Amino acid sequence: MTPIEILEQTVKELQGQLQAAYIRIGVITKELDKYKQKYRDEVDEAFDFKMKQKSLTELNYDGNEFRGRYGEDESV
């Protein structure tokens, strides 16, 4: 084998390894996206629960965090 043939064979092997790596990266990216979505859904669910609980128990549900327990203005 000539040095050029050896280099061509090496390049072909490396190209095959690169293609396999791209496939693995694609699979891992899909798994990562799945776990990210699962995490986001859980955070949203916890946030929604917190807001529901707040709406049932607090006067400040409308977002005005400066009102006191009985609706008095505490922003000062």
pLDDT, tens digit (0-9, with 9 covering 90-100), for 24-63: 999 999 999 999 999 998 888 877 777 777 777 665 566 6
Q: Please check whether residue 49 lies inside any domain of the structure.
A: yes
Residue 72 within any structural domain of the chain: no
In a domain, 44, yes or no: yes
Q: H-type helices in 1-76, by residue range?
A: 3-57
Looking at the predicted structure, is the pLDDT value of residue 13 above 70?
A: yes
Residue with tokens 């006067």: 59
Which residue bears the tokens 């549900």?
Answer: 61
67 by DSSP, 3-state: which? strand
Q: What is the pLDDT of residue 25?
A: 97
Please measure the distance between the N-terminal and C-terminal CA atoms of the chain and give it in whole angstroms: 87
Please report the pLDDT score of residue 18 as a whole number.
97
40 inside domain = yes
Residue 64 domain-assigned (yes or no): no
Distance from the Cα of residue 68 to its chain's centroid: 36
Number of domains present in the structure of the chain: 1
Domain membership flag for residue 20: yes
Put simply, whether the predicted model's pTM sits higher than 0.75 gets the answer no
Beta bridge partners of 73: 67
Q: In which domain, by residue range, is 27 found?
A: 7-55
